[in-house]
Structure formats: C-alpha cells, structure tokens
C-alpha cells in the first residue's frame, strides 16, 4: 500500500487566509521553522496506478499539480484518480469534489448522512451522475473501492458539519456523521481518523497492532484557539480531541501498540507545527510524527 | 485604481486536473512556452489597503498566498479583503467563497439570480450571515463596495450556470445570470467581462473610450473543444464568444477605441496560451494582451 499525504492541515490550511496568529505569522514570513500545509486529504494506492482519495480538500487542484502520480497520463481526458472516500461532511473534506468536475468518471463513497448533506447543494450538480457514481458506505461493512484495497468505515466520536449544526449539537456521538477508515492491503493494516472528539476503549482495541495510525492532530491544547483570542470554540466543541492533557490523544494512545503513529489534520494554531518547539519535541518524544504535505508512507 | 490578476484561466485552470490536451501536456511537462494559470479572479483597490475581489475562484486560497497585498496584517484574525463581487454563478467564480470562511466579515455583491442560486447550497452556511452581508446588485445601478471604487453591473449575453441548466437553456440572453462590471476610480474607467456569449452594439458603445477592457478569452475557435475530442460543447454552448471568426471578439472589438485590451478567463485548450504560437501572435498583432496570474495594471 502506498500512502501520499496530499494535505496535512485542518480546515483553513496553514497559513489560514485571515489569520495572524503566532504560527501563521511565521508562515506568512517564510520562517524556515514552519512548513506551509494544505488542507486534509490523502491519496492511497495498492499498485501505484489506480489511486483513491481519502477526503477531497478545497486545495485539491493544487495538491494534484504537486503530485505527479495523480497527473493524467493519456492524450485526452483521463485521471488515475478512481474514487473518493469521505470521512465527514466538513468543507475541508468535501469542497474538493468541485475540483473533480469536467466530465470525469469516478466513484464516490460516503455514509448516507454525508451523501444526504451533499444533496442539499446544487453546486455538486457539476458532477454528472452518469459518470460520478455515489456509493453508500455503512459502519463496519467493508468494501473495495479500487483493486487491491479493502476499506471499512468505523464510527468515531464526532460532530455534524458546521453548516449543518442545529440549535442542539450532539458532540462526541458515535454515528455516521464522522467516520474513521480501516484500510487493508495484503497484510498491511492502517487507520485514517482525521476527526475524533474523544478516545474509546473500542477504538483502542480495534487499532492495537496496526502498522499505521494517522490520527486527528487538530490542536495541542483543548482551549488553544480561545487562549489565542481567535475563537470562542474549544477543540471539543469542534469535534476534535486535543493532543495534551489527561483526556488527550498522547495519553490515550500511549499504551496501544502501533508500528507508526502520525498526527494529521493539524490546525494552524497548533504549536507542534513549529519545528524545535517544546510541543513538537514532546510529541516526537512520545513516538509520534507530524504529517506534512508530500509525505509518503509505504506499507 | 490597482488591478491584480489573481487567476487568468477559465474553469478547471491550466493545466486542468484531468486533461492531457496538447496545451495541458506542455504545462504538465513544465514547458517554458506556457505558464500555469489558476481560475478566474481579480483583486482591485483604490488605495492599495482595502481590496475587492471580482469573483472567488476555487483556487482562491492559493491566490491569496501568492499575493502579499492580500495577506492579513494584524495579530489576530483580519484581512484586507473587504468584499467580493460575482459576475455569474459558475463554480469557477463562486467556489472560492468557501475559502473565505472562518468568521471574517466582508460584503458579498451579486445579482438576485446568483444570490438565489447560492442559497440552494447549505455549504455556504459556513459564511456566518452576521459577518458576511449579502447585497443585491441590479443592472445599471452603481454602488461603491469599497472606498474609492464605483461599480456598475452590465447585463451581457450569457447563460445560467451548468449546475442550474434545465432542459431548455437560453444562451445569449442579456439578463442577471451573467453580468459584466464597469469599474470607475477617479477618472479611470475599466471593464471586466469574463463571460460573454456574443457582442452587441450596446456593449461596444458603452465601452468605447475606456482605459481598460478585460474580456472573455475562453476559446480561440468556437469548436476547439469538439475538434480536440474533449467535449461535445462549442464555446457558444458554454456561453462564451470565440476570439477568431467573423462573429468573434477580435473582429467585434477591432473598431472600438480602448486604451488597453486584455483577454482573460482563458480555457486550457486555447492555443494563445502557447507563447510564440500563430494564434498568440495573431492576437498580439491585433493589440490584445493575454492575461497571466500575477499581472498588475495601474490606472
């Protein structure tokens, strides 16, 4: 299995268009301690020929340009991108579907909840339904979106997308609003969970012994956006677990054996984005890597 | 008036994600005769401090990163982008509104038709209506979206967006589905018309004597996408006038005095994208420039 990190940042990317926080200022100034990052998406393949996208970020056109394996190889219209799997309905995971217009066939896989949210948007009509086939995926039922890959959706504690929030928002529910993906190819077993509000024993038991875990690295502390006066929302309120703290992901995953652990979907406020920072060193000391755009993992 | 071309390509950009046409192959291969181009958008300003976007392309995040004048200058959340004016509802002109999320105030100006199309998409709910104010603009009524600029919408022959097409599509109607913009600042008068299905005497009379015309340069020949086996649609069917031919824009504008004429919104199939090509030379000989990303015009 080949995995390419197309985008490693959370919604907004790094730097974020309207953000002058300490991290973003470093990025705007081209400081060598930080690398710019586009929004959350992976490309995976079993054979290096047919590729599957896990989430379609608003930066997808730029991500395809930066990734030769995803360029069209034929004289007319073509693409090695055969399908897209969505893990939730957030703008940073679905807006890239609009990039995939222009009469190209591919398969779209998402939960019934997410497909119903997409259907509330006429813009997605640019994806001709004769060419773009929608497939409902269900929790714990596996499917093979491209040759050589088997994927299973896992319900993880999450939240509905921001644009679908009603007056009373259930946060941390395990449902089809937010899923993680178990990916198998040959003997390899990997997990991609870019959004997760809290850890459960069920998740830990399922993932123990995996070759790779790509996990929600949105914030370092639960209140970091509040503390930086950028937002009134905690990570929990946005449906994400923080890295640090007694309830955080570093503590939560510490006793779970996984060959490689990588934080992904990293918000622009997260101090781990600064190489050499104390937060970055603490995360690396705990055995985690910080994903960056263009990172490649072979399993 | 300062004008920055953020994106000079038509929908899909250049190269287009799934296109292996002759032009796109040059671009994928990094050939020095072609410059990659992002999708259709301008930034304009009277004072160099407050900026207005004319259309919001799917590549907007990348375009902001490439344009220092549009970077946030304050410590918290901020942006010099004060507003957006839309000329139609096509994905290449509206999807960038999703980039402008993250609780930032700005003014959105569009025709009632286009605002109604946007309202059929729940995704735009990420633009908090308390912060993003929608303003209906009407043909031939001028408004001042930022200090020092006056804008007037002009009905031009056009077409509804692809995703809003019904069984019978009226092409070439002059209505609010497709508008051009007249922009005045001090004594300067400029026109931005990225989509126009045909020329009319009314347009020619209005624009005569202008300092600048940025005009629909989608295709060179009406049937170029059909001839290249890429699509069954002519330029006319997509709501665009071709450059060449007796009914084309080169002939249509030839007798109209305008200080500077620039083709913009250029499709990836258009041979004028290749520097030194016969099509490019013929257009330049007729007094036209071909827009490219990063181009700056001061009036």
- ipTM for the complex shown: 0.96
Q: How far apart are CA B165 and CA B261, in angstroms?
A: 31
Chain B environment of A230 (Cβ under 8 Å): 76-77
Least confident of A193-202, B43-52, B90-99, B230-239: B230-239
Q: Which residues contact A26 (CB under 8 A, 6 or more apart)?
A: A33, A34, A274
* Mean pLDDT of the region B202-227: 96
Are B72 and A19 inside 8 Å of each other by CB? yes
Residue-level pLDDT at B170: 81
Closest chain A residue by Cα to residue B78: A18
Which of A18, A60, A75 minimises the CB distance to B79?
Answer: A18
CA-based max dimension of chain B: 55
Tens-digit pLDDT profile for residues B241-290: 999 999 999 999 999 999 999 999 999 999 999 999 999 999 999 999 99
| DSSP result, A199-220 | --HHHHHHHTT-SEEEEE-SBS
Residue-level pLDDT at B160: 85
- Count CB neighbours of A45 within 10 A: 23
Q: How far apart are CA A112 and CA A28, in angstroms?
A: 39
Q: How far apart are CA B8 and CA B290, in angstroms?
A: 9
Compute CA distances A208 → A191, A257, B117, B268, whole Å: 11, 5, 48, 48
The three-state secondary structure class of B25 is helix
* Mean pLDDT of the region B185-198: 96
The answer to whether residue B153 scores a pLDDT higher than 90 is yes
Task: Choose, out of B123, B233, B293, the residue to mutate when testing the contact with A (most A CBs < 10 Å).
Answer: B123
Q: Could you tell me the end-to-end alpha-carbon distance of chain B, in angstroms, rounded to an integer?
A: 5
Ramachandran angles phi, psi of A33, nearest 5°? -80, -15
Residue-level pLDDT at B176: 86
Q: Parallel, antiparallel, or unpaired for β A2-7 and A296-298?
A: antiparallel
Q: How far apart are CA B297 and CA B288, in angstroms?
A: 14
Q: How far apart are CA B53 and CA B83, in angstroms?
A: 6
Q: How far apart are CA B98 and CA B60, in angstroms?
A: 9
- For residue B152, give the nearest of B133, B127, B180 by alpha carbon: B180
Q: How many helices (H) and strands (E) in chain B?
A: 8, 14
Residue-level pLDDT at A100: 97
Compute CA distances A75 → A71, A196, B18, B138, whole Å: 12, 42, 10, 44
Report the predicted TM-score, pTM, of the whole model to 2 decimal places.
0.96
* Mean pLDDT of the region B71-88: 96
The answer to whether residue B63 scores a pLDDT higher than 80 is yes
Least confident of A146-150, B135-139, B171-175, B190-194: B171-175
Closest chain A residue by Cα to residue B70: A17
The first and second tokens of residue B282, run together, are 């013929």
Burial (0-12, 13-18, 19+ Cβ within 10 Å), A29: exposed
Are B123 and A79 inside 8 Å of each other by CB? no
Please, are residues A199 and B157 in contact by the beta-carbon 8 Å criterion? no
Are A64 and B104 inside 8 Å of each other by CB? no
* Mean per-residue pLDDT over chain B, rounded: 95
Place of tokens 């030769």: A68
The answer to whether residue B87 scores a pLDDT higher than 80 is yes
* Mean pLDDT of the region B34-59: 98
**Count of pairs with CB atoms under 8 A, one residue in A, one in B:** 152
Are B18 and A102 inside 8 Å of each other by CB? yes
The three-state secondary structure class of B30 is coil
Are A126 and B79 inside 8 Å of each other by CB? no
- For residue A228, give the nearest of A192, A267, A201, A177 by alpha carbon: A267
Residue-level pLDDT at B174: 85
Q: How far apart are CA A64 and CA A81, in angstroms?
A: 10
The answer to whether residue B82 scores a pLDDT higher than 80 is yes
Residue-level pLDDT at B102: 82
- For residue A90, give the nearest of A217, A282, A265 by alpha carbon: A265
Are A71 and B28 inside 8 Å of each other by CB? yes
Please, are residues A68 and A206 in contact by the beta-carbon 8 Å criterion? no
Residue-level pLDDT at B164: 86
* Mean pLDDT of the region B52-63: 98
Q: Which residues contact A101 (CB under 8 A, 6 or more apart)?
A: A126, A127, B11, B12, B91
Q: Which residues contact A87 (CB under 8 A, 6 or more apart)?
A: A54, A55, A93, A178, A179, A180, A181, A192, A193, A194, A195
Residue-level pLDDT at A176: 86
The first and second tokens of residue A290, run together, are 């910080």
Are B126 and A13 inside 8 Å of each other by CB? no
Domains of chain B and CATH, by start? 2-293 (3.60.15.10)
Written as tens digits, the pLDDT of chain A (299 aa) is: 999 999 999 999 999 999 999 999 999 999 999 999 999 999 999 999 999 999 999 999 999 999 999 999 998 999 999 999 999 999 999 999 999 998 899 999 999 999 999 999 999 999 999 999 999 999 999 999 999 999 999 999 988 888 888 777 788 888 889 999 999 999 999 999 999 999 999 999 999 999 999 999 999 999 999 999 998 899 989 999 999 999 999 999 999 999 999 999 999 999 999 999 999 999 999 999 999 999 999 99
Residue-level pLDDT at B49: 97
Residue-level pLDDT at A171: 84
- Classify residue B230 by its DSSP letter: S
The answer to whether residue B168 scores a pLDDT higher than 80 is no
Please, are residues A57 and A95 in contact by the beta-carbon 8 Å criterion? yes
The three-state secondary structure class of B102 is coil
| DSSP result, B239-292 | T--BSSSTTSHHHHHTTS--S-EEEESB-TT-GGGSTT-HHHHHHHHTTEEE--
Q: How far apart are CA A104 and CA A122, in angstroms?
A: 18
């Amino acid at each position: 299995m080949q995995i390419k990190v197309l985008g490693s940042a959370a919604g907004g990317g790094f730097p974020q268009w309207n953000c002058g926080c300490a991290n973003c200022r470093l990025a705007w100034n081209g400081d060598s301690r930080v690398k710019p990052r586009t929004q959350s998406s992976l490309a995976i393949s079993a054979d290096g020929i047919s590729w599957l996208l896990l989430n379609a970020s608003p930066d997808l056109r730029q991500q395809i340009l930066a990734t030769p394996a995803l360029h069209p190889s034929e004289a007319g219209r073509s693409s090695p991108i055969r399908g897209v799997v969505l893990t939730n309905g957030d703008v940073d995971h679905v807006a890239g579907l609009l990039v995939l217009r222009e009469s190209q066939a591919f398969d779209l896989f998402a939960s019934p909840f997410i497909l119903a949210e997409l259907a509330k948007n006429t813009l997605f009509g640019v994806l001709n339904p004769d060419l773009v086939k929608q497939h409902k995926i269900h929790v714990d039922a596996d499917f093979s979106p491209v040759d050589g890959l088997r994927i299973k959706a896992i319900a993880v504690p999450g939240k509905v997308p921001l644009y679908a929030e009603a007056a009373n928002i259930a946060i941390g529910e395990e449902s089809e609003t937010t899923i993680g993906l178990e990916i198998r190819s040959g003997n390899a077993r990997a997990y991609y969970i870019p959004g997760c509000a809290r850890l459960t024993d069920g998740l830990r038991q399922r993932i123990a012994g995996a070759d790779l875990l790509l996990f929600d690295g949105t914030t370092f502390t639960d209140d970091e956006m509040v503390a930086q006066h950028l937002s009134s929302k905690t990570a929990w309120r946005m449906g994400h677990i923080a890295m640090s703290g007694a309830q955080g992901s570093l503590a939560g995953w510490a006793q779970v054996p996984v060959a490689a652990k990588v934080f992904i979907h990293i918000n622009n406020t997260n101090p781990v984005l600064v190489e050499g920072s104390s937060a970055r060193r603490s995360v690396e000391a705990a055995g985690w890597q910080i994903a960056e755009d263009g990172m490649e993992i072979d399993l």
